[in-house]
Amino acid sequence: MQAEVLIVSEPNRIAIQNRKDWIKDNECKAAIKVIGNNIAIKRQGSGSGYCFIETVDFTIYSCYFSGNDEIDQLDEALFEIGRMVQGNNEKAIIAGDFNAKSTEWGMTHTDARGEMVTEWMAANGLITVNQGNSPTFQSQGYGSILDLTIVTEGIRMKIGQWRVVETETLSDHNYITFEVKNSDPTVVRQRECRGWQVKKLDRNKLHNAIGLLGGDGPSARDFSEELAKLCDISMPKKRTFRNKQPAYWWNSEIAELRGDCINKRRKYTRTRYTKNMGGIQRKQDSAQRQNQEGKERVLDAVP
């Protein structure tokens, strides 16, 4: 099967820099080429370490973030991509070399960059579709999973046949292929959980459960899980028929508070990796305290 879209990290700059049939960032670190005749490009653009095209059905991002760059550069690029995905309510495919390790996608440990990527994914409702533990990068007998395929919830069920291709690439990285299905999967109408019965909230159980939470400030992913657990403990679930995943306990006030909490979490995360040691402990303490206060305000907003 011939590919219809190529998503390339660290392409041959000399070969593509003057080619108009390649979409690329200013430094030619990431590129996209559309081969299929039936794919129309509505919009295209780029940022630091990434470029994108918008088609009729979804938006494709190609990324390359060097492991030699400061982690702040990764943080800023991820923030920009997340803002576009959320702001445009996109169905998005974000693929490339993130140079980040995490147990979320098959590595044996999580490094600082991996932690940042997983927290960014959790904050923006993104999911990796990497499967198995086949290395995407191999060099001198060492293998690692650095190349990720990340998607939004709205397109996850359309991604299929994801695999690492074991063939000669003349590179340290292996090819990755996957398909995007044209039709929506059949939805089975079933009786499932759609949040909680707020009118039956047991406030004593809620406050007792909050007292058991850790004080170090969870990651965005852990925070969502903890909030769901608090709701499970303090009120019964309600059930209804549905065809899609609802945002069960969500409302505009919690959304605003969560956004503020995520911003404080980002500030705290960035202070942990700065190389400027002057006043670093004070910065960390202040950022961590603000992060914790943000979490408590979100919890207080739960009816």
Check whether residue 55 and residue 95 sit in a common domain.
yes
Angle, helices 71-87 vs 112-124, to 10°: value is 10
On the question of pLDDT at 294 being above 70, the answer is no
5: region left, alpha or beta (phi > 0 left; psi from -120 to 50 alpha): beta
Check whether residue 157 and residue 47 sit in a common domain.
yes
pLDDT value, residue 240: 46
The lowest-confidence range among 39-48, 227-236, 260-269 is 260-269
Could you write out the DSSP letters of every residue in 223-290? Answer: HHHHHHHHHHHHS-EEEEEESS---TT--HHHHHHHHHHHHHHHHHHHHHH-S--TTHHHHHHHHHHH
**Cα distance between residue 295 and residue 216, in whole Å:** 11
**Nearest Cα to Cα of residue 134 among 126, 122, 144:** 144
Check whether residue 139 and residue 216 sit in a common domain.
no
Range of the domain at 22: 5-180
As a whole number, mean pLDDT of residues 270-285 equals 53
Check whether residue 151 and residue 245 sit in a common domain.
no
Residue with tokens 């923006």: 124
Q: Name the pLDDT band for 185 (thresholds 50, 70, 90).
A: very low
Token output for 127:
């999911």
CATH no. for residue 136? 3.60.10.10
pLDDT value, residue 201: 81
pLDDT value, residue 48: 93
Classify residue 249: in a domain, yes or no: yes
Check whether residue 150 and residue 174 sit in a common domain.
yes
Check whether residue 44 and residue 140 sit in a common domain.
yes
**Alpha-carbon distances, residue 105 vs 109, 118, 179 (angstroms):** 10, 10, 19
**C-beta of residue 202 within 8 angstroms of C-beta of residue 181:** no
pLDDT value, residue 210: 76
Check whether residue 24 and residue 167 sit in a common domain.
yes
Percentage above 90 pLDDT, the chain: 48
Check whether residue 175 and residue 203 sit in a common domain.
no
pLDDT value, residue 227: 78
- Residues 6 or more apart in contact with residue 237 via CB below 8 angstroms: 193, 195, 196, 197
Check whether residue 135 and residue 11 sit in a common domain.
yes
Picking from 124, 159, 180, the residue at the C-terminal end of a domain is 180
pLDDT digits (tens, 9 = 90+) for 99-125: 999 999 999 999 999 999 999 999 899
Comparing 251 with 227, which gets the higher pLDDT? 227
Check whether residue 56 and residue 28 sit in a common domain.
yes
Classify residue 79: in a domain, yes or no: yes
Q: In the chain, which ranges are E strands?
A: 5-9, 23-24, 30-34, 43-47, 50-54, 59-64, 92-97, 126-128, 137-139, 142-144, 147-152, 159-165, 175-180, 190-196, 237-242
Classify residue 22: in a domain, yes or no: yes
Comparing 19 with 216, which gets the higher pLDDT? 19
pTM greater than the 0.85 cutoff: no
What is the widest separation between alpha-carbon atoms in the chain? 66
**Nearest Cα to Cα of residue 7 among 29, 32, 40:** 32
Picking from 180, 200, 227, the residue at the C-terminal end of a domain is 180
**Cα distance between residue 64 and residue 69, in whole Å:** 11
**Cα distance between residue 227 and residue 11, in whole Å:** 43
Classify residue 185: in a domain, yes or no: no
The lowest-confidence range among 52-66, 128-142, 220-234 is 220-234
Of all helices (H) and strands (E), which one includes residue 124? helix 112-124
pLDDT value, residue 244: 42
Check whether residue 281 and residue 225 sit in a common domain.
yes
As a whole number, mean pLDDT of residues 10-23 equals 92
Picking from 134, 149, 180, the residue at the C-terminal end of a domain is 180
pLDDT value, residue 27: 92
Q: How many domains does the chain have?
A: 2
pLDDT value, residue 241: 40
